[in-house]
Structure 1
Amino acid sequence: MRARVSTTAAVFALSALALTGCGNSDDDSKASASASTSTSASSESDSAAPTSKETGSNGTATGGQTAIPTTAGNNGGGDVSACTTKNTQLRFVQAARHAGEQRPAQGTIEVTNTSKTTCTIVGAVTLTAKDDQDKADPVQTDNTAGGTDAVDVKPGAKARASVAYTDLNFDGSPSGREVCAVQASKVEIALPKDVSRTVKVTKDSGAPGSFNVCGKDVRLSAFKAS
């Protein structure tokens, strides 16, 4: 009797294992079929997507490198011209406040582009101040030390450079502190590759001014577009 029970139990166990094996086989087949379908879809998607070699018209060059759009100069055609007497106006503005013993006065050279195309300032700009009474030697400086990198000035826009100088005589008496060797109502300014121009000195308001220079230490900065 015990032998029959054991035999029957063994038969049931083998049947359960057989059924389990069949279920795993079906699941494995489904998983394999799903993986195959996914791989096939991925391959079709990759083949359908455009490569970088096919999209040169929208800014991507062949070979996978991005093409940088180019323009023919800043004016939309041709090279940018130099800022000269033909396409600019110059203005020299005296310092708004006097120099101190530890800080200079700050004047300004202003260049306005009066043309319809962009012009460039590149190279040394020269400033010369002569005493109105010719009682002292002229003062001359340029912006070589301050920097002469190219500055593009768009039509109607301005570029400015600061002029550092001393407009007070600290060694004189209080009543004569504003008396300098060079007192100029006009200055001469030469842009790079251009002739020198005589420019009236004005205050910021546009009223007549004076470029009073006590000493030879006059420094001209690089130009910046504004």
Structure 2
Amino acid sequence: MFVLTPEDVEISSVQHPKRPKRVPILSYQDKTFGLLSVFSAHQQEEAQASWRDLTSNEGHLCVLLEEPHRFSLWRHVQIDQELLNPVLPTAYARSCLLLVQALYGDVEQLLGSKQAKAFGAAFLQNASVPIQKAGGLGGLLRLNPLIEELPDWGEEELCTLLLELHRLGTEFFGRSHFAPRTLSALDILPGDEKTIFLNWLQQSLLGKLWLSA
């Protein structure tokens, strides 16, 4: 989102929580950014392309630092007591919630309440951590992702939900019969959030499951 020079920012370092090394941190306008990659001076076009891809296609808040002899790419992170957490676009959690609610609704509507109960029990058993963060299965299904506060899910938890959701969709509807219908629930997302989420999904291993149909 920002193209800056060293005069615009403050660079320091913090101790990595799990490894015996220090991690560089860039501070700008009360935000902190972690170093992603470094490019030599003649790689300006590559650096700018990577920066645009992260900001426009994936929705990340990023800084491209233009230095005399190199370019460096930094992504927004939160520093807490335990680790450096990349700040994920809200489109990820909002999309995941819509997919869960859509697939559960289809099971209930098309297969009946007994099958929906079995779906919910299996989903809770295999994705309990992210589901509990959303207030349990009932809370997850009742939450309006367009207007209410979203669960604080990390990338690993989102992947857990999507992997288990696809497994159950395949079990209840067959491998290629549910994904397009479920993904159509994302059409109500505001702005370019659907594109941001699908770009992330496509670049992950989960893309082969969800987007190959």
TM over 0.5: no
In the superposition, the TM-score normalised over structure 2's length comes to: 0.26
In the superposition, the TM-score normalised over structure 1's length comes to: 0.25
Which of the two has greater helix per residue? 2
Which one has the largest radius of gyration? Answer: 1
